[in-house]
Amino acid sequence: MRDVEMRQLFDEDPNRFKKFSIQSNPVLVDFSKNRVIEQTLSLLFNLAKAAEVEKWRDKMFAGEIVNSTEQRSALHTALRSPVHTHVSKEIDTELASMERLCNKLHHGKWLSYKDTPIKDIVVIGIGGSYLGPKLASEALTHFTQKGIKIHFVANVDAHLLDEVLKDIAPEDTLFVVVSKSFSTQETTANAETAAAWLREKSGIRRSVHKQFVAITSNAEAAKSFGIDSDHILNMWDWVGGRYSLWSTVGFPLALQIGMQNFRSLLTGAYTMDKHFQTAPLDKNLPVIMGLLGVWYINFLGMPHHAVLPYDHRLRSLPSYLQQLDMESNGKGVTRDGKRANYNTGPIIFGDAGTNGQHSFHQLLHQGALTVPCDFIGFSKAEHDHKNHHEILLSNMLAQSQAMMMGRSRKETIELLASYNITGKMVKDLSLHMTFPGNRPSNTIMCESLTPATLGALLALYEHKVFVQGIIWNINSFDQMGVELGKTLTSKILPAMQSDKELSSADCSTQALLDYIRKNS
Ligand code: F6P
């Protein structure tokens, strides 16, 4: 397949789109612009069978321990399932608490220390306790309840917190601290500074009690922080941070869009869960997308993947998928404790179209690396500027077409001739202006961006990542790679805050620390 040209495959088979696209409502995935033929896919399905993808999928849905290193199940699918499971009761309790708190705020009954109703929500959290709610909040901005404004603070860099605090009034604001552990350094630092700000501005020590909510599995830490136990929503150890949007982590989103819309998000994700559980492998979208990724990474040597949503509202999707994919499958040791002697998770990057076209798409079209892409678009827009939407989607179709077809040297020479460019100029320019093409992409389309379509789309990617993790025989549900940096920070920080030498520092780290001390 290395030498097979997709362009030729399309010429030979006018039914290629029909054969290589699947609609599972509300999502249509066109995977015809990939370097595969039916035989390729059938061999890849054999690989999925050999890796027992279906068996592992059923184990995950049944709540068996699939996170072997932490001895946990991964039950994010139970959070959106109407079917009764052994955790349904706990989920219903938290959904009821979310509903109660949402109603209190939406009915203007959540009052500040000045007895004024809350209008601004500041969400403090990082990683999985931030990326999902932030993405969904931007994506579903059209569903925002009247009068509510939401702000996100993730980075410990206080330039951000300062900016947000400047934008809000203490008597308007509810702070929602999202942290499964309630010990993440960035989140606790931001939460403490925000609490100190609220106390100072209000002159009331207990203002935190009224105007802070915690989403956590460490209720004790939240209580010691000063948060009212009525304002603490529970998170469970069977939900990983990056899979947690569907849990109480979605509470700020529910405040923004209302509980009914939040429930539609869950229903949309459930639709994709059902599809993943019941569709045969050769009709199963997460399986197909997962296998195509494996095909490029392990067979054709393409370890990158670009995510290109042609919708401004999904501008944070690449960052969300970076965590989902790279924190899940960025592992080099197999489930049975051996070093993997093959590549695993890809490098994910991307941006909203058409912005990327004016920057990194150059590499996607003509770079020495070939980068498989996902284009994502919605046929309907939520604004009245029809021509903008037509321009946007035409660009999306043109990009995937250009990547697939390219423009041969011969076609380029003909084009130059049509501009009356001849002789040496043609020789000089034609190769630079040639597009190699044969660059693979999926195009994912939905009718409009709603809570339900967003739910289905994110669940599609969750399961794609799961399928790949099973094929690579790695545990997609732990994240031990984030620990070493945290440990070293805890050694460097005390040195930064004093004049002491760093014990056991390399000369580079020591010199950089000295530079900071000298110039701060
Ligand atoms: O450092 C990585 C990580 O553990 C993520 O997996 C997690 O989503 C994030 O930090 C935030 O953790 P917490 O919700 O405990 O603050």
Q: Averaged over 487-515, what is the pLDDT?
A: 90
Which structure tokens are listed for 226? 């000063």
Can you give the pLDDT at residue 276? 98
Q: 242 CA distance to ligand 1 centroid (A)?
A: 8
Residue nearest to atom 10 of ligand 1 (CA): 127
Q: 407 CA distance to ligand 1 centroid (A)?
A: 45
Asked whether residue 436 is domain-assigned, the answer is no
Residues 6+ apart with CB under 8 A from 450: 26, 140, 143, 264, 268
Do residues 84 and 229 share a domain? yes
Instruction: With beta carbons less than 8 A apart as the criterion, state whether 467 and 286 touch.
Output: yes
Q: 126 CA distance to ligand 1 centroid (A)?
A: 6
pTM above 0.75, yes or no: yes
Interatomic CA distance for residues 369 and 110, integer angstroms? 54
Do residues 231 and 303 share a domain? no
Amino acid sitting at position 400? S
If one residue of 67, 123, 129 were mutated to test the ligand 1 pocket, choosing by the most ligand atoms within 8 A of its CB, it would be 129
Do residues 223 and 292 share a domain? no
Interatomic CA distance for residues 90 and 76, integer angstroms? 13
Do residues 247 and 295 share a domain? no
The domain that holds 343 is classified in CATH as 3.40.50.10490
Asked whether residue 80 is domain-assigned, the answer is yes
Mean pLDDT of the chain: 97
What number does the ligand 1 atom closest to the CA of 482 have? 1
pLDDT at residue 274 is higher than 80: yes
Residue nearest to atom 8 of ligand 1 (CA): 128
Which structure tokens are listed for 466? 């799961």
Instruction: With beta carbons less than 8 A apart as the criterion, state whether 223 and 70 touch.
Output: no
Interatomic CA distance for residues 377 and 390, integer angstroms? 11
Asked whether residue 432 is domain-assigned, the answer is no
Interatomic CA distance for residues 397 and 392, integer angstroms? 9
Can you give the pLDDT at residue 224? 96
Which structure tokens are listed for 407? 């423009």
Q: Averaged over 154-182, what is the pLDDT?
A: 97
Q: Report CA-CA distances (Å) from 99 to 211, 250, 257, 263.
A: 17, 12, 12, 10
pLDDT at residue 414 is higher than 90: yes
Interatomic CA distance for residues 416 and 207, integer angstroms? 71
Q: 150 CA distance to ligand 1 centroid (A)?
A: 21
Can you give the pLDDT at residue 431? 95
Can you give the pLDDT at residue 2? 87
What number does the ligand 1 atom closest to the CA of 216 have? 14
Q: Which helix (H) or strand (E) holds 429?
A: helix 424-430
Q: How confident is the model at residue 505 (pLDDT cuts 50, 70, 90)?
A: confident
Q: How many helices (H) and strands (E) does the chain have?
A: 22, 13
Question: What is the distance, to the nearest Å, from the Cα of residue 333 to the centroid of all Cα atoms in its chain?
Answer: 23
Q: Which of 358, 383, 424, 518 is catalytic?
A: 358
How many domains are contained in the chain? Answer: 3
Query: Annotated catalytic, 327?
Result: yes
Can you give the pLDDT at residue 494? 92
Asked whether residue 387 is domain-assigned, the answer is yes
Do residues 148 and 220 share a domain? yes
Helix ranges, 169-316 (H): 185-202, 207-211, 219-225, 251-257, 259-278, 285-294
Q: Which of 171, 186, 327, 462 is catalytic?
A: 327
Q: 192 CA distance to ligand 1 centroid (A)?
A: 18
pLDDT at residue 470 is higher than 90: yes
Q: 267 CA distance to ligand 1 centroid (A)?
A: 26
Can you give the pLDDT at residue 243? 98
Do residues 109 and 240 share a domain? yes
Asked whether residue 447 is domain-assigned, the answer is yes
* Cβ-based neighbour number of residue 309 at 10 Å: 27
pLDDT at residue 84 is higher than 80: yes
Q: How confident is the model at residue 500 (pLDDT cuts 50, 70, 90)?
A: confident
If one residue of 67, 184, 243 were mutated to test the ligand 1 pocket, choosing by the most ligand atoms within 8 A of its CB, it would be 184
Q: Averaged over 449-458, what is the pLDDT?
A: 98
- pLDDT tens-place string over residues 425-434: 999 999 999 9
What number does the ligand 1 atom closest to the CA of 241 have? 8
Do residues 252 and 303 share a domain? no
Do residues 234 and 373 share a domain? no
Q: How confident is the model at residue 501 (pLDDT cuts 50, 70, 90)?
A: confident
pLDDT at residue 469 is higher than 90: yes
Query: Annotated catalytic, 283?
Result: no
Q: Averaged over 385-403, what is the pLDDT?
A: 98
pLDDT at residue 504 is higher than 80: no
Q: Report CA-CA distances (Å) from 285 to 6, 22, 179.
A: 21, 7, 32
Do residues 56 and 135 share a domain? no
Residue nearest to atom 1 of ligand 1 (CA): 482
pLDDT at residue 423 is higher than 80: yes
Asked whether residue 210 is domain-assigned, the answer is yes
Q: Averaged over 223-241, what is the pLDDT?
A: 96
- pLDDT tens-place string over residues 18-72: 999 999 999 999 999 999 999 999 999 999 999 999 999 999 999 999 999 999 9
Instruction: Give the 3-state secondary structure of residue 68.
Output: coil
| Range from 130-134, 168-172, 268-272, 500-504 carrying the lowest mean pLDDT | 500-504
Q: 173 CA distance to ligand 1 centroid (A)?
A: 25
Provide the domain limits for residue 238.
76-263
Can you give the pLDDT at residue 216? 98
Do residues 131 and 247 share a domain? yes
Asked whether residue 29 is domain-assigned, the answer is yes
What number does the ligand 1 atom closest to the CA of 327 have? 6
Q: 195 CA distance to ligand 1 centroid (A)?
A: 21
Residues 6+ apart with CB under 8 A from 344: 297, 329, 330, 331, 332, 468, 472, 474
| Domain stop point among 224, 239, 263 | 263
Q: Report CA-CA distances (Å) from 443 to 274, 278, 306, 458.
A: 22, 23, 12, 15
If one residue of 67, 70, 72, 126 were mutated to test the ligand 1 pocket, choosing by the most ligand atoms within 8 A of its CB, it would be 126
Residue nearest to atom 5 of ligand 1 (CA): 127
Long-range CB contact pairs, 387-396, < 8 A, 24+: 392/310, 392/311, 392/353, 392/354, 393/310, 395/310, 395/353, 395/354, 395/357, 396/308, 396/310, 396/353, 396/443
Residue nearest to atom 16 of ligand 1 (CA): 179
Residue nearest to atom 9 of ligand 1 (CA): 127
- Nearest by Cα to 482 from 356, 255, 260, 326: 326
Do residues 160 and 83 share a domain? yes
Interatomic CA distance for residues 225 and 204, integer angstroms? 15
Q: How confident is the model at residue 502 (pLDDT cuts 50, 70, 90)?
A: confident
Residue nearest to atom 6 of ligand 1 (CA): 241
Pocket around ligand 1 at a 6 A CB cut-off: 126-129, 179-181, 184, 187, 241-242, 327, 479, 482
What number does the ligand 1 atom closest to the CA of 479 have? 6
Residue 464: burial class (beta carbons within 10 Å; 0-12, 13-18, 19+): buried
Asked whether residue 220 is domain-assigned, the answer is yes
Q: 273 CA distance to ligand 1 centroid (A)?
A: 24
Question: What is the distance, to the nearest Å, from the Cα of residue 440 to the centroid of all Cα atoms in its chain?
Answer: 21
Residue nearest to atom 13 of ligand 1 (CA): 179
Do residues 315 and 335 share a domain? yes
Instruction: Give the 3-state secondary structure of residue 443.
Output: strand
Residues 6+ apart with CB under 8 A from 28: 21, 22, 444, 445, 446
Long-range CB contact pairs, 59-68, < 8 A, 24+: 60/466, 61/273, 61/277, 63/87, 63/238, 66/475, 66/477, 67/240, 67/475, 67/477, 67/478, 68/335, 68/475
| Domain stop point among 202, 230, 263 | 263
Q: How confident is the model at residue 460 (pLDDT cuts 50, 70, 90)?
A: very high
pLDDT at residue 412 is higher than 80: yes
pLDDT at residue 183 is higher than 80: yes
Can you give the pLDDT at residue 408? 96
Instruction: With beta carbons less than 8 A apart as the criterion, state whether 119 and 256 touch.
Output: no
Residue nearest to atom 3 of ligand 1 (CA): 127
